[in-house]
């Protein structure tokens, strides 16, 4: 009886399945059960980190659709997160509208802004596109600081807690399941987008835009659409951030945040929804390990005592980008794929 490797799929039905094997289903159930039990058995700070990971994942998925799938570099992603955050905050404070109106509105306003930015960028790519999007981010940051009537300026804005039928999600534990549910829905939507003709058009533009146009892909339409979808995800992430932190400030949406999102998709794996999750979780958790490393180093080298600050994280993000681009361009998702294939084919080497 011939032995067949299952590294590659043999039918379209196999290719579109979400759960490929019984083992994937098994571990998926274990993972869901662990998430469900975490608020009850886990440390509150760990719950807080999971909440931050959800926010980062939503924004990173949006950037990955634009950069990883469509090949359009953006250094202004934090600007769209800020637009979403201040949209949700203003609607909640001034109009008193509920979150189920404010969150979609935050995404839609950010999507409109993304489409407006995308239109003049249609003929730009690479470094020129990165500079334009970075400039837009600087403009939004300036508006957030100076337009005090809309944003509160340097004082920031307070945001009321989400209320569901009178039950206020005012703590990390109460927000936990809400953020998990919203993140799961957005991930499901993004995964389906990338598997439709829209997603295939994005990939065609990324791989060779001239060839894509030659086979009938409307570059103008799909590039603007990619900007809009990416910005929608960023806007929703901003709205969720506002409701989670309960207070937003201009310092929360600087160029450094855009660089962090770029780091997430490079470390996680560009052109991969799962990679966005890996990268977001890794970058959210990384500062904790950096802090532990700094504290351990201070015990060995007393001169480093009390020297840890945010600059350590910035340096680490830069180092991570360099290392992954040189040694693992596919990111954590590529490593995960090799591990899965190794287990599938064991004890064979192919």
The yes-or-no verdict on residue 63 having pLDDT over 60 is yes
Percent of the chain with pLDDT strictly greater than 90: 50
Which is higher by pLDDT, 312 or 198? Answer: 198
pLDDT recorded at residue 308: 67
Of the listed ranges 17-26, 254-263, 276-285, the one predicted with least confidence: 17-26
Question: How many Cβ atoms sit within 10 Å of the Cβ of residue 253?
Answer: 26
Segment 139-163 shows an average pLDDT of 90
pLDDT recorded at residue 209: 86
The pTM (predicted TM-score) of the whole model is 0.88
pLDDT recorded at residue 236: 97
The yes-or-no verdict on residue 72 having pLDDT over 80 is yes
Query: What element of type H or E holds 167?
Result: strand 167-169
Per 3-state DSSP, what percentage of the chain is helix, strand, and coil (rounded to 5)?
Answer: 75, 5, 20
pLDDT recorded at residue 2: 43
The residues near 339 (Cβ < 8 Å, ≥ 6 apart) are none
Q: Residue 167's beta-bridge partner residues? A: 164
pLDDT recorded at residue 277: 93
Instruction: Report the C-alpha gap between 130 and 141 in whole angstroms.
Output: 17
Which CA distances in Å does 327 have to 38, 207, 282, 331, 335?
A: 34, 22, 17, 9, 11
Query: Using 50, 70 and 90 to split pLDDT, how confident is the model at 349?
Result: low
Of the listed ranges 21-25, 42-46, 63-67, the one predicted with least confidence: 21-25
The yes-or-no verdict on residue 52 having pLDDT over 90 is yes
pLDDT digits (tens, 9 = 90+) for 79-90: 999 999 999 999
The b-or-e profile of 115-150 (16+ CB within 10 A means b, else e) is bebbeebeeeeeeebbebbbebbeebbebbeeeeee
pLDDT digits (tens, 9 = 90+) for 168-226: 888 888 899 999 999 999 999 999 998 889 999 999 999 988 899 898 899 999 999 99
Query: Using 50, 70 and 90 to split pLDDT, how confident is the model at 163?
Result: confident
Instruction: Report the C-alpha gap between 85 and 105 in whole angstroms.
Output: 10
The yes-or-no verdict on residue 314 having pLDDT over 90 is no
Segment 227-233 shows an average pLDDT of 96
Query: Using 50, 70 and 90 to split pLDDT, how confident is the model at 5?
Result: very low
The yes-or-no verdict on residue 37 having pLDDT over 90 is no
Instruction: Return mean pLDDT, the chain.
Output: 86
pLDDT digits (tens, 9 = 90+) for 273-282: 999 999 999 9
Query: Using 50, 70 and 90 to split pLDDT, how confident is the model at 350?
Result: low
Percent of the chain with pLDDT strictly greater than 70: 89
Sort strands 157-158 and 167-169 into parallel, antiparallel or unpaired: unpaired
Q: How far apart are the first and last CA of the chain?
A: 18
CATH classification code of 42-345: 1.10.3470
């Amino acid at each position: 009886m011939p032995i067949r490797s299952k590294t590659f799929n043999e039918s379209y039905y196999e290719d579109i399945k979400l759960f490929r094997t019984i083992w994937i289903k098994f571990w998926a159930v274990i993972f869901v059960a662990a998430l469900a039990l975490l608020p009850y058995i886990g440390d509150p700070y760990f719950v807080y980190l999971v909440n931050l990971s959800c926010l980062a994942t939503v924004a990173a998925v949006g950037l990955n659709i634009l950069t990883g799938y469509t090949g359009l570099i953006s250094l202004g992603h934090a600007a769209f997160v800020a637009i979403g955050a201040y949209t949700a905050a203003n609607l909640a404070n001034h109009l008193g509208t509920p979150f189920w109106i404010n969150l979609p509105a935050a995404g839609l306003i950010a999507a409109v802004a993304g489409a407006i930015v995308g239109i003049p960028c249609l003929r730009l790519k690479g470094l020129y596109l990165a500079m334009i999007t970075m400039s837009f981010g600087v403009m939004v940051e300036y508006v957030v600081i100076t337009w005090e009537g809309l944003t509160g300026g340097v004082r920031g804005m307070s945001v009321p807690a989400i209320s569901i039928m009178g039950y206020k999600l005012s703590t990390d534990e109460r927000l936990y399941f809400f953020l998990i549910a919203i993140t799961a829905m957005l991930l499901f939507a993004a995964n389906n987008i990338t598997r439709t003709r829209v997603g295939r058009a994005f990939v065609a533009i990324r791989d060779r835009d001239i060839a894509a146009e030659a086979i009938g892909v409307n570059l103008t339409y799909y590039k603007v659409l990619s900007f809009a979808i990416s910005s929608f995800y960023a806007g929703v992430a901003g709205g969720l951030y506002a409701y989670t932190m309960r207070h937003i400030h201009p310092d929360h949406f600087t160029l450094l945040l855009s660089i962090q999102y770029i780091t997430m998709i490079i470390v996680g794996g560009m052109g991969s929804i799962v990679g966005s999750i890996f990268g977001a979780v890794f970058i959210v958790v990384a500062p904790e390990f950096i802090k532990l490393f700094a504290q351990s180093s201070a015990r060995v080298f007393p001169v480093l005592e009390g020297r840890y600050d945010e600059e350590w994280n910035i340096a680490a993000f830069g180092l991570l980008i360099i290392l992954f681009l040189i040694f693992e361009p596919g990111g954590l998702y590529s490593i995960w794929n090799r591990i899965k294939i190794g287990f599938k084919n064991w004890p064979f080497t192919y």
